[in-house]
Amino acid sequence: MGYDDVITHLGEFGPYQKRIYYLLCLPAIVCAFHKLAGVFLLAKPDFRCALPYENGSSYDLPPHLWNLSYPQDEVCAYYDVEYSEEYLNGSLPRSSNATKSCSRYVYDQSKYLNSAVTEWDMVCSRSLLSATSDSLFMLGVLLGSFIFGQMSDKLGRKPTFFASLVIQLIFGVLAAVAPEYFSYTISRMIVGATTSGVFLVAYVIALEMVGSSYRLFAGVAMQMFFSVGFMLTAGFAYFIHDWRWLQIALTLPGLLFVCYYWIIPESARWLLLKGRKDEAFVIIEKAAKENRVEIPSEIYEQLVDEVAEKKKQDELTASQPAATVFDLLRFPNLRRKTLLIFFDWFVNSGVYYGLSWNTNNLGGNQLVNFMISGAVEIPGYVLLLFTLNRWGRRSILCGTMMVAGVSLLATIFVPADLNWLIIACAMIGKLAITASYGTIYIFSAEQFPTVVRNVGLGASSMVARVGGILAPYLKLLGEIWRPLPLIICGALSLTAGLLSLLLPETLNKPMPETIEDGENFGKKTAPQESAEEGGSQELAGMLNEKSG
């Protein structure tokens, strides 16, 4: 008897679970606001050096003044000459080709009234600062997944959710009123950390209260709410052109979720795990009443016995060394699979955020590009609902990553004047990598042995965050050559997709329980098995030596 059996009596996705689940999906929208806001908060409009005679001038200049003032394809310097009225009228030739670096800048305000970039002049030699700010935001996401994950397991899901929500509100507003770059970046980094506390904890609570047959739907549907938040971010940016007010507008919806404190319960599964059975039974009874079912009394008695048995097992295992990521790297087959999974996570995260943040470099209407980039995620997730349990995890993972790779690399051959086709290829890549990202969560959990599953998923998530930390710098490469970010993302996706063929299929296969199971799993089905058969006896000896 376990909590899953209680859910069977409650109803795997009854009215109570549906109400709580959909309420928990809504914070995903606000987390998307914060994760994608950097596209607009740090938007880099067209700019040029302010000429010595200018004082608050418009960005536009007559064509002949561009030729007189700036070297070809250069906006970070201007000709160091005397800008007399005769020179500006074209009556005098340029007396020197010497250039001078900018001391002030003029920005095109036709698309963005302002941004953090324009306020603190993060262009030219300071352009690295904007990418670094986004990168530190993703570093915050990494730290938050570790800090709030630990808090969630030790202090409970509910207090962790609300603590991170309050911190998110405070530092979201502080980022909006930050007087300079450093305080803005630190505030945004803390907000990044809280997105892990809000989204991941809500995700865990939601999945812990639904039956196993609904978990695929529940997990994918919550990701769709994130995509809705992705698209709504563009709506906020359309109506709010001042970056400080935009940051406040994206933060304040989080206030709505403070009232959840009186609505969202603690996870009954976590309470039982911690031996707080009376509190768990109250929640179960409330759910049973709303679902109009009755829980037999013997189920409660069996749960009490199970909790007592679990405590004994925890005491016995407490003295044993904890599993580490090195257990996944100790044996050849398990090590190969682990490294392939790590690479898949790195590529999926890096490409997903690289494409999401690169919409401003695609040309055309930037808001429309961003909106489409969020909208294509919905069919990507729908694809998973209809195919993951039919075609297999490996087929979907490899197929979607290869489609992403081919579509992004195809932009090399698209003529520059067919900008719509470049955007179309980029959006096909975004759809495919979204589906791939959704698959890797499930596929990885089924690859790692039970004894190190949490460790393996935690390490995979950390590797993914490294990809996210590096992704903002792709935008800078796009300023050098516009197709370059798409080419890099395409090459990584195609490579990872092909390498994923070396992983064994997990659909309808029993999940490995021990390290030995993990080492043996997939040996006879992996495509490269013939290359490793010669060393099978040596591997078996190593495993026997370890188990002995």
CATH number of the domain at 443, please: 1.20.1250.20
Share of the chain above pLDDT 70, in %: 92
User: What is d(CA 141, CA 131) in angstroms, rounded to the nearest whole number?
Assistant: 16
The maximal CA–CA distance of the chain, rounded, in angstroms, is: 99
Could you tell me which residue, 30 or 152, shows the higher pLDDT?
30
Sole residue written with tokens 């803005």? 184
The predicted structure's pLDDT at residue 320: 59
60 has a pLDDT exceeding 80: yes
152-184: burial string, b at 16+ Cβ within 10 Å, e else: beeebbbebbbbbbebbbebbbbbbebeebeeb
Local confidence band at 535 (pLDDT 50, 70, 90 cut-offs): very low
137 has a pLDDT exceeding 60: yes
37 lies in the same domain as 52: no
Which is nearest to 180 in space by CA: 120, 244, 135, 128? 120
385 has a pLDDT exceeding 90: no
192 lies in the same domain as 286: yes
397 has a pLDDT exceeding 80: yes
101 lies in the same domain as 142: no
Local confidence band at 431 (pLDDT 50, 70, 90 cut-offs): very high
The predicted structure's pLDDT at residue 536: 37
The DSSP output letter for 535 is G
In sequence order, which ranges of 358-418 are alpha helices (DSSP H)?
Answer: 366-375, 377-391, 393-409
The predicted structure's pLDDT at residue 313: 65
At a CB cut-off of 8 Å and minimum separation 6, what does 168 contact?
Answer: 30, 34, 191, 194, 195, 197, 198, 251, 254
- Report the alpha-carbon angle 319-324-325, nearest 5: 170
Compute the average pLDDT of residues 380-397.
90
Out of 183-197, 214-228, 236-250, which region has the weakest mean confidence (pLDDT)? 214-228
404 lies in the same domain as 500: yes
Local confidence band at 534 (pLDDT 50, 70, 90 cut-offs): very low
Could you tell me which residue, 144 or 89, shows the higher pLDDT?
144
**E-state strands within 92-204:** 99-101, 105-107
**What range does the domain containing 75 cover?**
47-108
Which is nearest to 266 in space by CA: 276, 258, 255? 276
Average model confidence (pLDDT) across the chain: 86
171, β-bridge pairs:
none
Compute the average pLDDT of residues 344-353.
94
The DSSP output letter for 198 is I
The predicted structure's pLDDT at residue 19: 93
Compute the average pLDDT of residues 73-91.
83
The predicted structure's pLDDT at residue 524: 59
7 lies in the same domain as 57: no
The predicted structure's pLDDT at residue 417: 84
458 has a pLDDT exceeding 90: no
Q: What is the pLDDT of residues 171-203, one digit of tens each?
A: 999 999 999 999 999 999 999 999 988 988 888
528 has a pLDDT exceeding 50: no
- Report the alpha-carbon angle 487-492-496, nearest 5: 150
The predicted structure's pLDDT at residue 280: 85
Which of 108, 136, 154 delimits the end of a domain? 108
Taken in order 152, 153, 158, 159, the sign of the CA dihedral is negative
64 lies in the same domain as 139: no
Compute the average pLDDT of residues 304-330.
68
Out of 142-146, 318-322, 501-505, which region has the weakest mean confidence (pLDDT)? 318-322
Tokens of 345: 């996570």
Compute the average pLDDT of residues 124-141.
93
425 lies in the same domain as 519: yes
Half-sphere exposure of residue 501, counting CA atoms within 13 Å on the CB side? 10
The predicted structure's pLDDT at residue 323: 64
Compute the average pLDDT of residues 230-252.
95
The predicted structure's pLDDT at residue 548: 40
Local confidence band at 246 (pLDDT 50, 70, 90 cut-offs): very high
374 lies in the same domain as 284: no
In a domain, 207, yes or no: yes
Local confidence band at 206 (pLDDT 50, 70, 90 cut-offs): confident
Compute the average pLDDT of residues 283-297.
87
In a domain, 534, yes or no: no
In a domain, 537, yes or no: no
249 lies in the same domain as 137: yes
Out of 98-102, 149-153, 251-255, 432-436, which region has the weakest mean confidence (pLDDT)? 149-153
The predicted structure's pLDDT at residue 84: 84
Q: Do residues 78 and 102 touch, judged by C-beta distance below 8 A?
A: yes
Out of 70-84, 105-119, 159-173, 443-457, which region has the weakest mean confidence (pLDDT)? 443-457
358 lies in the same domain as 475: yes
502 has a pLDDT exceeding 70: yes
Compute the average pLDDT of residues 359-378.
89
In a domain, 404, yes or no: yes
Compute the average pLDDT of residues 274-288.
86
In a domain, 388, yes or no: yes
The pTM score is 0.86
399 lies in the same domain as 469: yes
DSSP class per residue in 6-19: HHHHH-TT-HHHHH
Number of domains in the chain: 3
The predicted structure's pLDDT at residue 316: 60
In a domain, 548, yes or no: no
In a domain, 539, yes or no: no
In a domain, 117, yes or no: no
User: What is d(CA 151, CA 175) in angstroms, rounded to the nearest whole number?
Assistant: 25
Compute the average pLDDT of residues 138-149.
89
CA distance readout (Å), 92 to 72, 207, 227: 19, 74, 57
Q: Do residues 540 and 332 touch, judged by C-beta distance below 8 A?
A: no
348 lies in the same domain as 334: yes
Compute the average pLDDT of residues 507-512.
80
